[in-house]
Amino acid sequence: MTSGAPPVLGALGLFTVLLGAALPLIDFFIVNVALPTIGEDLHAGEAVLELVVAGYGVAYAVLLVLGGRLGDLFGRRRLFLGGLAAFGLASLACGLAPDAWTLVAARAAQGAAAAAMLPQVLATIQAGTAGARRARAMGLYGATAGLSMVGGQILGGVLVAADIAGSGWRAVFLVNVPAVLVGLVLAVRAVPDTRSPRPEPVDGPGTVLLAASLLTLLVPLTEGRAAGWPVWTWASLLAFPFVAWGFYAVERRADRAGRTPLVPPSLFALPSLRRGLILLAPFSVGFSGFMFVLAVALQQGAELGPVAAGVALVPMAAAFFVVSLCGPRLVARFGTRVVTAGGLIQVVGLVLIALAVRRDWPDLGIVTLLPGGAVAGAGQALQMPVLFRVILSEVPTARAGVGSGVMITTQQSALALGVATLGSLFLALAPGMGMRDALVTTLLAQLALVVVTVALSLRLPREVG
């Protein structure tokens, strides 16, 4: 290859970056079925257990855009390797944590490492592929993301129940270590070194204000219910719109002055990115809320063990995998109307799950949930991978890191909001109306979110670039 030739991401390199993409998403969901065991072993109350989830999710969301900018500036391969190594070390610290607060700190470090690593995945795909190869790679990324979210919960249940060498819940974190070692060896060999042709310096004020905006929103929502909604949670939520406006004003001023803000407002002039992000938010809120609530309901309400609770999701994961493989061909033929069809299919799946819960509670399991889970998984597979392609389709290669950082920040913030909002709704309703009716009500709330995504999908550009 000549020095002027563009970098090429081969099959082994693509596998490696997709492995890097899978690990952070698996770890967001893998703790859902492990939380009861963690609480019992470490004598942790509900508020601390919420921090085990929130510490990871908030650190991850807050630092993602900065991670994308640093990759553009210093080289995406370097940030990918550094983030992957740090993720492995933080996972080891989680698995060896002697007490709950050490686990919370290690989880926050895990989230920060993931924020350095994950934006480099999409940016490397954007820079190292083109045309049909890029479409296939983006389809595989979307399939990997969806499978990681569902599969993380299944894997968590299996690992906790297996109690490998007496490790119990610790295995859900220690399993990352060998995967990281494999990823590091492969990345050195197969991931090309790419960076922005016009590297842009870090936007200090923008970074601080974006972090403050996300913190004032996510921390009170994720911790408020367990903490009893003290005054600081309401003060933080009241401050959020003002801090967010300050962030937007600073970024717009920098953009107009010819400087390079952390999140250039001009990016949102791209219709595909703007409309895709607006749709991605309610989709992700519903997805993560559903996964969290179902894990709690199956274990605490239906009294299933961690393996049975995880296995109940196998039909959803299997359907997602099979249908996501067909996605690129369907998009080539029908365009983004595939997303609309996926939303309608997901509606049917959620209705079937709600009917099964109402009819068979508490005798739930893989057989009872199979029809609804499989249909809902198929619907999700027609939405998530296509949305990722749509959002990044018009982003210039020079801003691939920033674009992917903005997209993943939106997704991750919405995932955290889903656990906070739908999770809090379910846990607040359960004592008064019982687990069954609380679960059905929460499923109906998610159904409303899916109806919103179906309506928003009609505004997507018909063709995917």
The per-residue DSSP string of 399-456 comes to GHHHHHHHHHHHHHHHHHHHHHHHHHHHHHHHHHH-HHHHHHHHHHHHHHHHHHHHHH
Contacts of 241 (CB under 8 A, 6+ apart): none
Q: For residues 102 and 303, which has the higher predicted lDDT (pLDDT)?
A: 102
Percent of the chain with pLDDT over 70: 97
| The predicted structure's pLDDT at residue 282 | 92
| Mean pLDDT of the region 424-439 | 88
How many CA within 13 A on the CB side of residue 192? 20
| The predicted structure's pLDDT at residue 268 | 85
Percent of the chain with pLDDT over 90: 34
| The predicted structure's pLDDT at residue 108 | 92
| Mean pLDDT of the region 289-302 | 85
pLDDT bracket for residue 149 (50, 70, 90): confident
Given 3-state DSSP classes, what are the helix, strand and coil percentages for the chain, each rounded to the nearest 5? 85, 0, 15
| Mean pLDDT of the region 3-26 | 83
| The predicted structure's pLDDT at residue 89 | 97
| The predicted structure's pLDDT at residue 4 | 55
Backbone angles phi, psi at 312, to 5 degrees: -60, -20
Q: For residues 460 and 231, which has the higher predicted lDDT (pLDDT)?
A: 231
pLDDT bracket for residue 342 (50, 70, 90): very high
pTM reported for the whole predicted model:
0.82
pLDDT bracket for residue 6 (50, 70, 90): low
Lowest mean pLDDT among 2-11, 116-125, 351-360, 420-429: 2-11
| The predicted structure's pLDDT at residue 107 | 94
In tens, the pLDDT along 172-227 reads: 999 999 999 999 999 999 999 887 777 677 778 888 998 899 889 888 887 887 77
| The predicted structure's pLDDT at residue 456 | 92
Question: Burial, 431: exposed, middle or buried (Cβ in 10 Å; 0-12, 13-18, 19+)?
Answer: exposed
| The predicted structure's pLDDT at residue 1 | 40
How far, in Å, CA of 434 to CA of 430, rounded?
A: 5
In tens, the pLDDT along 266-293 reads: 888 888 888 999 999 999 999 888 888 8
| The predicted structure's pLDDT at residue 5 | 58
| The predicted structure's pLDDT at residue 271 | 87
In tens, the pLDDT along 396-408 reads: 776 777 777 788 8
How far, in Å, CA of 388 to CA of 177, rounded?
A: 28
In the predicted model, is pLDDT for residue 2 greater than 50? no
pLDDT bracket for residue 355 (50, 70, 90): very high
Taking alpha carbons only, the member of 203, 176, 202, 41 closest to residue 106 is: 176
Question: Burial, 10: exposed, middle or buried (Cβ in 10 Å; 0-12, 13-18, 19+)?
Answer: middle
In tens, the pLDDT along 372-384 reads: 999 999 999 899 8
pLDDT bracket for residue 465 (50, 70, 90): low
In tens, the pLDDT along 107-143 reads: 999 999 999 998 899 888 888 887 778 878 887 887 8
Q: For residues 231 and 71, which has the higher predicted lDDT (pLDDT)?
A: 231
Q: Is omega for the bond preceding 282 within 30 degrees of 0, making it cis?
A: no
